[in-house]
Structure 1
């Protein structure tokens, strides 16, 4: 694509926003082993909002929201989310990092674009080629090498000529999983509910309270503690620059939407004659996992596909909960050819035979602290379930996003598939559509597109 390297945003400004109340002196936020297992991974979210007064806009001179309206509620918002405003510190006496709660704040990026929201969304492969222009991060690609000065969260607001905006989030995965990141943004929308110019003190009598919760009990069979987890890959310690080491191949990306009718058709194809059996129905995630697993196994001639990692939330209830890594890191392992397997057999495995390795991962990271770092996403072919994530819950002035997406940074070369709720035919929220984000070695992308189209009528 000719525009691939073209800068589509300009007039970039940097600033920071800190909590409106001091957290305290010499306080630390201790990271668990499961948090540090995710230290090389980052979550990137992107929300597009259209301008309700587009017909009255001339050359983008009047957006429907100002930077002041966006920033002003953040001071109270960040009081509740004080941990995201800290900076990573490593002890001189041990190798275990912590977050120093020094109220250093989150980084804010402001930018402009001469394109409209619809022009952005119409660009082929924009998530692959251009998303990094709307979701800013540290120039070094991740935390470090100056860890004490690296923000854990970046927010980029881009104004378009139509008066619409995009809001991009870059979120260090050590803070929490994608459900926590989504709730973080949804809470910002709640803090913005006051009318323009209204004092935050009068609108919010006190900051909304968030709290810790007891982790839910595992729904999957307990792990075999006599073995090590196969869901993670060891890498040499990365030191103070927290980015994944170079992989063996370049990761490419493509996305596709499924309408409710297409989802029903895929259910029918997978379940076959058992479609009407009440015991055979399954969520869309399990159907998509089966189809993608089988298709990728065919492309790879069953190499590197006998073990897959399944990342699903233990609970989707994150409202007013401190961010945390609450995802199940599970695995499914087979001894047969996946490419020629009956889809119903794969469905059953994904439903009943996932082994929860989360505790094993926690134990391994704690045991090998300082000796190794780890890759989770893409260590095996990985499927991430965000089907029930409330990614359209982030509202600005009562408007839901025109389109929202979540991606993962720092992916291993086995690839990742993410299932998200899709847009509602172009306006304000999801209505049963599904969005599938695919991250695979570049040389597999076109092969997978062909396989999905020929075998499953997708594309």
Structure 2
């Protein structure tokens, strides 16, 4: 007997909304100026869910949970600000650090945590009820940049969720932000607030003598959105997730090139999915150019937020659908061309007013290896599971690969046009990546 579809509206109840700001007054004249790469990401949003067993939050009142958050936000005043536009001809967006705060949402579920894991394994899209689906705009001055949701399950387990405007920083920045909350809860000193004096005013306006070079392949211009920072894909997007065991990863490596170089889990997984999607789209539509996002050295700077990830493109001059998988993995490993500087130049050339997307402009693979998602800790408890997704994805789709907490598994989040999802699952089953 087929179970009826789950109604997401019945999964949570008793929803309450409040605001949390810094414990100390920041000062109305302080501003934070996103750089060009930040603004290139302004139509994207990160949604993260951290699942904890009952020992982390059970028995704690909302006031006790919220109290350390005020000190936490002292360190990151830009997350509590609101966007404005400069008064000069450019209208370049900046954040006024006016302590308006982040939104805090409380909710309850009559499911146990184990019930919930079964539900999301069948339909990961239902997980969205745990994360506020908010965007910036259409009134910039009233739009929070960060939402935190705390959902308590019947068993005492908890989902701590975050909606994060990507203009603030990449997934590695989010991990730092969340880990510092764990430090605040434990009563540790967080150090001085991020030094906003280092965010220098950008020089707006194209210098005719400057040679900006070719346009980047990794981003795509979209129709102007004004102050409503939302990208709407041309087709309906759907997502699903699965995990890959270490045993399967070893099998993939030996299958790719038994006597040759070893590939990283990210390259192994990405090469297989790249080829599967190429088969689905056929010779006319196969993705010969893909974008790769990875951790950069800049992400290691303590406390700093921002979009520091390396953005590269790989161009295949062969048929991806029929290529040797080892050859595709090798291209990802050795032939990726970094485009951070080109993206910076493109935004500068457009005086920061044009609207672009990166995720899904090409088929995009995001390597979250080294992301400390499982290092956040509350009352000595680390997450049982962590899930991340991206909103605002273009119709070429995005694949996120990040480590799981146990036995070196890898979690894969796939976001593609809905008419490709069923076929991709069949292809992945044929390749032995899913059962």
TM-score in terms of structure 1 length: 0.86
CA-to-aligned-CA distance 1:101-126 (integer Å, 9 cap, x gap) = 11111110001110011111111556
Structure 1 residues 370 and 170, CA, compared in 2 at 3 Å: closer, same or farther? same
1:16 to 14, 19, 32: 19
Q: Determine whether 1:339 maps to 2:321.
A: yes
The residue aligned with 2:36 is 33
CA-to-aligned-CA distance 1:20-51 (integer Å, 9 cap, x gap) = 11122312101111000000000110011111
Q: How does 1:189-208 map to 2 (within 5 A)?
A: 189-194=182-187, 204=189
Instruction: Note if contact 2:180-2:190 (Cα within 8 Å) is conserved in structure 1.
Output: no
Q: How does 1:250-269 map to 2 (within 5 A)?
A: 250-269=236-255
Give the Cα–Cα distance (whole angstroms) in 2 for the partners of residues 318 and 86 of structure 1. Answer: 25
Instruction: Note if contact 2:374-2:386 (Cα within 8 Å) is conserved in structure 1.
Output: yes
CA-to-aligned-CA distance 1:369-397 (integer Å, 9 cap, x gap) = 36520010000000000022111111111
Unaligned runs of at least 5 residues, structure 2: 200-210
The residue aligned with 2:415 is 439
Q: Determine whether 1:238 maps to 2:225.
A: yes
Give the Cα–Cα distance (whole angstroms) in 2 for the partners of residues 208 and 242 of structure 1. Answer: 27
Give the Cα–Cα distance (whole angstroms) in 2 for the partners of residues 213 and 344 of structure 1. Answer: 44
CA shift, 1:91, in A, is 2.0
Instruction: Note if contact 1:83-1:101 (Cα within 8 Å) is conserved in structure 2.
Output: yes
2:271 to 290, 303, 307: 290
CA shift, 1:83, in A, is 1.2
SS at match of 1:6: helix
The residue aligned with 1:107 is 103
Structure 1 residues 178 and 213, CA, compared in 2 at 3 Å: closer, same or farther? farther
CA shift, 1:205, in A, is 9.1
Structure 1 residues 316 and 253, CA, compared in 2 at 3 Å: closer, same or farther? farther
The residue aligned with 2:129 is 133
SS at match of 2:251: helix
CA shift, 1:458, in A, is 2.8
Structure 1's consecutive aligned runs of 4 or more residues displaced over 4 angstroms after TM superposition are 124-127, 203-214
SS at match of 1:419: strand
Q: Determine whether 1:400 maps to 2:396.
A: no
CA shift, 1:204, in A, is 4.2
Instruction: Note if contact 2:75-2:191 (Cα within 8 Å) is conserved in structure 1.
Output: no
CA-to-aligned-CA distance 1:42-90 (integer Å, 9 cap, x gap) = 011001111149xxxxxxxx92433223211111111111111110001
Moved more, 403-412 or 294-303: 294-303
SS at match of 1:298: helix
Higher helix share: 2
Instruction: Note if contact 1:213-1:321 (Cα within 8 Å) is conserved in structure 2.
Output: no
Instruction: Note if contact 1:387-1:420 (Cα within 8 Å) is conserved in structure 2.
Output: yes
CA shift, 1:345, in A, is 1.3
SS at match of 2:388: strand
Structure 1 residues 66 and 282, CA, compared in 2 at 3 Å: closer, same or farther? farther
CA-to-aligned-CA distance 1:386-412 (integer Å, 9 cap, x gap) = 022111111111101111011111000
The residue aligned with 2:205 is none
Instruction: Note if contact 2:149-2:160 (Cα within 8 Å) is conserved in structure 1.
Output: yes
Structure 1 residues 439 and 205, CA, compared in 2 at 3 Å: closer, same or farther? closer
Instruction: Note if contact 2:277-2:286 (Cα within 8 Å) is conserved in structure 1.
Output: no
The residue aligned with 1:56 is none
Q: How does 1:18-417 map to 2 (within 5 A)?
A: 18-52=21-55, 63-93=58-88, 94-125=90-121, 128-138=124-134, 142-194=135-187, 204=189, 226-244=213-231, 246-274=232-260, 280-302=261-283, 303-315=285-297, 318=300, 320-369=302-351, 372-417=354-399
Moved more, 35-44 or 14-23: 14-23
How many residue pairs end up in the alignment?
419
CA shift, 1:457, in A, is 4.5
Unaligned runs of at least 5 residues, structure 1: 54-61, 195-202, 215-223, 275-279, 425-430
Give the Cα–Cα distance (whole angstroms) in 1 for the partners of residues 267 and 415 of structure 2. Answer: 18
SS at match of 2:320: coil
SS at match of 1:301: helix
Structure 1 residues 455 and 169, CA, compared in 2 at 3 Å: closer, same or farther? same
Structure 1 residues 192 and 241, CA, compared in 2 at 3 Å: closer, same or farther? same
SS at match of 1:123: helix
